[in-house]
Amino acid sequence: MEKQNKINLGINLLRMWMAFEVILLHRMSWKGYEGPFFQFLKACELFSVPVFMIISFYFSAKTIEQNDSAKMKERLIRLAIPQVGWAIICWVVYVLTDIIFMHDLQHNIADLLIAIISGCRQNTNPSTWFQAVLILLTCFYFLVFRLLDKKKAWVFVYLSIGVALFVQFNGSYFRFFETMPYELANTIGRIFEIMPFAGIGLLLRHIGIYEVLKEKRIGAILISIVLFGLGFYLTFPSVEDFFGGLYPIYMAFFLFVVFLLLPLEKINNQSRKVILTASRFTLGIYCSHRLVYGIMEILYELCGISLRNFSKCLVTYLVCYIGSYIVSLIPNKFIKNMVD
């Protein structure tokens, strides 16, 4: 979820939408919500994280393929900052919550260390498994292109996608990891879930999908929208609790293509500024939404406020955005990289 080139306004809009879908995925109960609008949002939850992974590798593909060690070092530091920083912040807040509400202390140093390493400690901030897997896959593909010539490296990319899909579809995805500790099983298992999306992002940049389609963008957008819509009926999964399978691959691919090709580069500066401002803090929103939602639940109870689930998700997004903006005002590069 790195900072994008300003010309990719469509991708910025997509990141903003997918950040809200992540909140819905983790916190929304759909009971009592009917109608096409809510059904559409519910169906889009399952490819929110896959879309983020495609975006991340699409925009880091050049650094990976060209073996740029300096830029790779900068990128890994950029990815590690929110991984470590949000683990510390969430752990401190939860420890203080234990103390304030006189609970038995349920968060120890081991929880903090595991959260920093794996990103998926259940009682800290499990959503940052994304950062951990993103770091691991970035290192993996960087080493592939460092150790092999480009032709063999791209063959390896195809093979890695194929192996990941095989592990998912033949059921060994579950059998192999079921006896492992949760954090280890989740991190390794997520690698096999997410690897196809990382590979797709690399391949789309490699073939120059934007350059290939930009002269035919209107037709490509319309076709992609139709195929995306058909995906709800042709590829919708029977199992909805993970990001594996055909559905998120199919849907994330066409959705990414649609937003990548949106002809927004010629809009006026004011509109451009609105889009860039509104979509600026998707990293901060993603990393903080579980913590913010929990805090807001306490405040709702203390203040006697009753909101429906969807309204709570909207409030969480807004509070995460405001909080990220406040953090971004701190004149420190590392702190700014926590949210932006």
Q: Is the dihedral of CA 127, 283, 160, 68 positive or negative?
A: negative
pLDDT the model gives residue 104: 67
Q: What does 195-235 look like in DSSP terms, one character per residue?
A: HHHHHHHHHHHHTTHHHHHGGGHHHHHHHHHHHHHHHHHHS
Helices then strands, counting H and E runs in the chain, come out as 16, 0
Mapping DSSP to helix (H, G, I), strand (E, B) and coil, where does residue 158 land? helix
Look at residue 4 in the predicted model and tell me its pLDDT. 42
The predicted pLDDT at position 2 comes to: 40
In the three-class reduction of DSSP (H, G, I as helix; E, B as strand; rest coil), residue 149 is classed as coil
- Going by C-alpha positions, the residue among 320, 192, 276, 239 that lies closest to residue 46 is 239
Residue 177: what pLDDT? 63
Q: How far is CA 90 from the centre of its chain?
A: 18
> For residue 52, what are the CA distances in angstroms to 2, 19, 115, 248?
9, 9, 21, 12
In the chain, the amino acid numbered 106 is Q
The CA-atom distances, in angstroms, between 50 and each of 26, 215, 224, 276, 317 are 15, 27, 17, 22, 20
Q: What pLDDT, on a 0 to 100 scale, did the predictor assign at position 309?
A: 93
Q: How many CB atoms lie within 10 A of CB 219?
A: 11
What pLDDT was estimated at residue 236? 66
Q: What pLDDT score does 198 carry?
A: 95
DSSP string covering 103-132, please? ------HHHHHHHHHHS--TTT-GGGHHHH
For residue 150, the model assigns a pLDDT of 92
State the sign of the Cα–Cα–Cα–Cα dihedral 315, 317, 322, 326: positive
> Residue 218, Cα to own-chain centre: how many angstroms?
27
Give the phi and the psi of residue 337 in degrees, each rounded to 5. -70, -5
Query: Are 281 and 324 a contacting pair, CB within 8 Å?
Result: yes
Q: What is the C-alpha separation between 22 and 279, in angstroms, rounded?
A: 15
What per-residue confidence (pLDDT) applies to 203? 95
The residue type of 319 is V
Q: pLDDT tens track of the chain, all 340 residues?
A: 443 444 589 999 999 999 999 999 999 989 889 899 999 999 898 899 999 999 999 999 999 999 889 999 999 999 999 999 999 999 999 888 888 877 666 788 888 898 888 888 888 888 889 999 999 999 999 999 999 999 999 999 999 999 888 877 766 655 666 677 777 777 888 888 899 999 999 999 999 999 999 899 999 999 999 999 999 887 766 554 567 778 889 999 999 999 999 998 888 889 889 999 999 999 999 999 999 998 999 899 889 999 999 999 999 999 999 999 999 999 888 899 999 8
Burial profile 133-154: b = 16 or more Cβ within 10 angstroms, e = fewer: bbbbbbeebbebbeeeeeeebb
CB 329, CB 322: distance < 8 Å: no
pTM: 0.92
**Can you tell me the distance from the alpha carbon of 155 to that of 58, in angstroms, rounded to the nearest whole number?**
18
Annotate 232-272 with DSSP letters as a single string: HHHS--S--SSS-SHHHHHHHHHHHHHHHH---TTS-HHHH
Find where tokens 């038995």 sit: 104
What's the CA gap between 263 and 222, in Å, rounded? 13
- DSSP class of residue 263? -
